[in-house]
Every structure is written in C-alpha cells, then in structure tokens.
Amino acid sequence: MGMRKKRMTWLILKYILLSVVSFFTLLPMIWMVSTSLEPDKGLESYSLIPKEITFSNYPEAWNYPRLYDEDVTLGTMFKNSIIVSSVITLLSLLFDSMAGYALARKNFPGRTLMFWLALSTLMVPFYVVVIPMYIITMKLGLLNTLTGLIIPFVSSGFGVFLFRQAFISIPLELEEAARIDGAGDFYIYWKIMLPLIKPTIATMAIFKILWSWNMFFWPLLVIQDYSKMPINLGLTMFRGQFVTRWGLLTAGMVIATIPIIVMFLVLQKWFIRGLTAGALKG
C-alpha cells in the first residue's frame, strides 16, 4: 500500500512538472497565435489571452506588402515556398533513388568509388562550399531565380545512401524473375523496386519537405526580389517594416507555420522516422 501511495505521489509530481515545462515550451507558439488574433494597438497591448479577437490580421498579412509591385504579397511568397519545396522533394527522391538503385543492384566498374563519393559529400559542411556555390550559381545566370534556389539541393549523398540501404535489403529473386520475363532496368527500378520501399520514400519525402520549407541561408544569398522569395525569407524582410505591427507579423508567421504543423499532426509517425533518419547522417 505504501509503495502504491509513493508511486501516485511521484506520478502527480511528474504531471505537474511536465505540465509546467510543456506550457513554457509551447508558450512562444501560443503567444504568437494569440498576438496574431489581437487588433493592432501598438506595443502596450499584447497579452497572452487576447481581450478582443479579430481575424483581420490574416487577410491583411496575406495581401502585404504590395511595395514595388502591386501583385507581390505574402501569398506570392507562400506559393514560391510550395514550388521550391515540392520540386526539391520530388527531384531529390527521383535522383537519389536512381543512384541508390544502381549502387545497390548493378555491378559496374567504379561502383565502390561512386559509393565513397556519395558518402564523402556527408563530410562537407554546407558553409564551407557556400562561396563557390554562390559564384557558380551566379556564372550560370541563376541568381535571383527559383531555379537557382532549387538546383543545388535536388540530390544529396544522404539520400543516395539511404536508398541504397533500402534497395539492398530486397531479395534478389524478385528482380531476377522480372529479368527473365525480359524487363529492362528502368522498368525494374520503377515498377518493381520503388513500390517495395515506400516507407523509405515517405521518410525521405518528409525529411526533404521539412528541410526545404525551412531553409534560410541559401535563399538569403540568392534571392533579392520580393516576387521570388520563399515565405521564411520574406518574413525576415517584413520584420523591419512592421516592427510595431506585431499582429500582422505574427499572422504572417502563423501562415508560414501552418503547413508544417498540419503535416506533422497528420503524419506524426513518419515525421518521427524522417527526423531520426537524419541522425544516421553523422
């Protein structure tokens, strides 16, 4: 009986501690949402629980700033982010899995070297290559374009490695049977192998979407025009202009965060996998 009582006390203590910490962990997010729902009144007014709720910050932020070009708004930037994220994700899934398939299943001279080359890219920190990357992008005439934003990231050594591991674990018989029936390599890769590694595809897709939606340094270097900015870069540009209009700024931030949160709540299990897969990177 005493044991049980002790356990109950511990459980209650744990609940209290966890609740307090969770509250503080979520506080910045809660504050962001509640500020975005408050009418703009200047610096004095922002409390945790809004006294008066308005949704007008949202349409206003969505249609901001129309500075140099009447048509360029936060909505444009949201659209840019969707384009950049989807193209990076789709192309890198395709390219990484193609290379992963060849490394796992084909026997060709130079295969070991190719494998080590893919692994060696993991040792190269982004900030070490960023200056020549910028110069190359400039010489290709891709500065200030969405293509320039996308192209360096449409494949990764990490992805090639992950797909190779996935393909290696599939039994050879499946492939051989298809080969006897006269199937070519691309058919086997596309119709037989890819459907068998759906979990890896999903894991990698989430990892890539999250990463490309949230990327910041490269867009900061490459993009100058508001009309081509992804939303996260756009928000930092707005920061200066609406520093006293927190309602508008926080509404913009909520808009930039909603796709990620919704995806997370729907695909929780895959999210966790995608993020722990990143740990293999080291």
Partner 1 sequence: MKKRMKKKLKDTIISYLFCFPAYSVFAVFIFIPIVWAFVLSFTDYSLLTFGESKFVGFDNYIRLFKDPVFLKSLLNTLYYSVLYVPATLIIGFLFALMLNDDFPGRNFFRLAMFIPVIISMVVASIVWMLILSAHPTSLANRFLALFGIPPQGWLSDPKLAMISVAVVMVWKTFGYKMLLYLAAMQNIPQELYEAAEIDGATGWKKTMYITIPLLKPTTFFLLVTSVIDSFQIFTPIYIMTGGGPGYATTTIVNYLYQKGFQEFEMGYASAISYILFLILLVLTFIQKKGFGKEELY
Closest CB to partner 1 among residues 27, 177: 27
Closest CB to partner 1 among residues 72, 256: 256
Residues 166 and 203 sit within 8 Å (Cβ to Cβ): no
Closest CB to partner 1 among residues 28, 182: 28
Closest CB to partner 1 among residues 63, 244: 244
Question: What are φ and ψ of residue 230, in 5° steps?
Answer: -75, 160
Provide the minimum distance between the beta carbon of 88 and partner 1 in the complex, in angstroms, as a whole number.
Answer: 11
Question: Residue 2 corresponds to which tokens in the numbers above?
Answer: 């005493």
Closest CB to partner 1 among residues 53, 243: 243
Q: What is the Cα–Cα distance from 209 to 270, expressed in whole angstroms?
A: 12
Provide the minimum distance between the beta carbon of 87 and partner 1 in the complex, in angstroms, as a whole number.
Answer: 13
Q: What is the Cα–Cα distance from 148 to 144, expressed in whole angstroms?
A: 7
Provide the minimum distance between the beta carbon of 2 and partner 1 in the complex, in angstroms, as a whole number.
Answer: 14
Closest CB to partner 1 among residues 24, 68: 24
Closest CB to partner 1 among residues 71, 211: 211
Provide the minimum distance between the beta carbon of 8 and partner 1 in the complex, in angstroms, as a whole number.
Answer: 11
Residues 188 and 178 sit within 8 Å (Cβ to Cβ): yes
Provide the minimum distance between the beta carbon of 70 and partner 1 in the complex, in angstroms, as a whole number.
Answer: 26
Q: What is the Cα–Cα distance from 184 to 178, expressed in whole angstroms?
A: 9
> What 8-state DSSP symbol labels residue 191?
I
Provide the minimum distance between the beta carbon of 42 and partner 1 in the complex, in angstroms, as a whole number.
Answer: 9
Q: What is the Cα–Cα distance from 5 to 101, expressed in whole angstroms?
A: 58
Provide the minimum distance between the beta carbon of 227 and partner 1 in the complex, in angstroms, as a whole number.
Answer: 19
For 233, counting Cβ atoms within 10 Å of its Cβ (0-12 exposed, 13-18 middle, 19+ buried), the class is: buried
Q: What is the 3-state composition of the chain as percent helix, strand, coil, each rounded to the nearest 5?
A: 75, 0, 25
Q: CA distances (Å), 166 to each of 114, 161, 171, in order?
A: 17, 9, 11
